[in-house]
Amino acid sequence: MSDIARINLLLLGLVATIALTIVVHVPGNTAGGSASVLASPYCLSDPAELSLQGRAAYAEDLVSGTTLYAYNEDAQLPLASLTKIMTVLTARDTLSESDTVTATKDALSADGDSGLREGEKWGVQELTDLTLMASLNDGARALALAAAQKEGITLPQFIEKMNTKAKMIGLTQTYFLNETGLDVSQSNAGAYGSAHDVVKLLAYAVQHAPRFVEGSTEETKSFTSESGFVHKAQNTSPLPAGLPGVIASKTGFTDLAGGNLVVMFEPLPGRPVAAVVLGSTREGRDTDMKILAAAAQKTLRRELLCATPTP
């Protein structure tokens, strides 16, 4: 190789290296600090817009509190069965794992035949897992009625406790009219909240009652009541079981709400993300969440690879 050719190659290599290692300074998290970002095409390119069917979506890195994606995240929308997360949390304040919950006639009057038998007795954890995984309306009502009975209050008073707890957690757009999230009429839903609130609710549930949500991600499972009856259940969404490091999930669907889905997962080890889609379709909620989860993972990876705080 000639000296001229060798020099040309060295110059080309130098230009390529400079292009990939130019440092851009952006404001840091501390006074007077800055973050160094490698000016590579990957780090400088803007995240692509997401094409979602849902009316609202939100994803948050729960370690840093960084918003990874937001679309109509504060809009107040019907929650459908996402309500059951709060039902379980509120019942948990009263019921212990040693308590027994009975599927009463009143509990079974909730819409939807899940196969529970009148008078069938359940352990609190087993019924909670089944209720969240298969989104049982009668299971949610049975838990709510059992907690209300133990406290000596009515079901409406229990629902008021759900609303009080929502305020305590800081859910500014959320309120509940029933314990299932079922529509109460053709124009009124059983519960309302925002995508931002739903993420905050799930994060609170995982932090304060992890045992009560860990069964929500099973794809299929058999549950045995204390009465000895076996119930084979399938998750209302197959998607969460396939997400990396999945921690918790809950679906929802009514005519007014459309398809809802909230999940918590770890796209990168030790970096849990909570993400929610509201107002999609029954099938679209899974498609939307797959897109949202992939985008959240990419954004989180970009944040870790491209933003290195300077000393």
Q: Can you give the pLDDT at residue 308?
A: 57
Residue with tokens 């040693």: 98
Domains of the chain: 3-44 (no CATH), 56-90+154-224+232-306 (3.40.710.10)
pLDDT digits (tens, 9 = 90+) for 125-157: 999 999 999 999 999 999 999 999 999 999 999
Q: Does the structure show a pLDDT above 90 at 184?
A: yes
Q: Can you give the pLDDT at residue 1?
A: 46
- Sorting pLDDT into bands at 50, 70 and 90, what band is 15? very low
- 251 beta partners: 261
Q: Does the structure show a pLDDT above 70 at 9?
A: no
Burial 201-232 (b: 16+ CB within 10 A, else e): bbbbbbeebeebbbbbbbeeeebebeeeeebe
> For the packed helices 195-208 and 155-169, what is the interaxial angle rounded to 10 degrees?
100
Give the percent of the chain with pLDDT over 90: 74
- Distance in angstroms (rounded) separating the CA atoms of residues 216 and 63: 22
- Sorting pLDDT into bands at 50, 70 and 90, what band is 195? very high
- Distance in angstroms (rounded) separating the CA atoms of residues 140 and 132: 8
pLDDT averaged over the chain? Answer: 87
The predicted model scores a pTM of 0.84
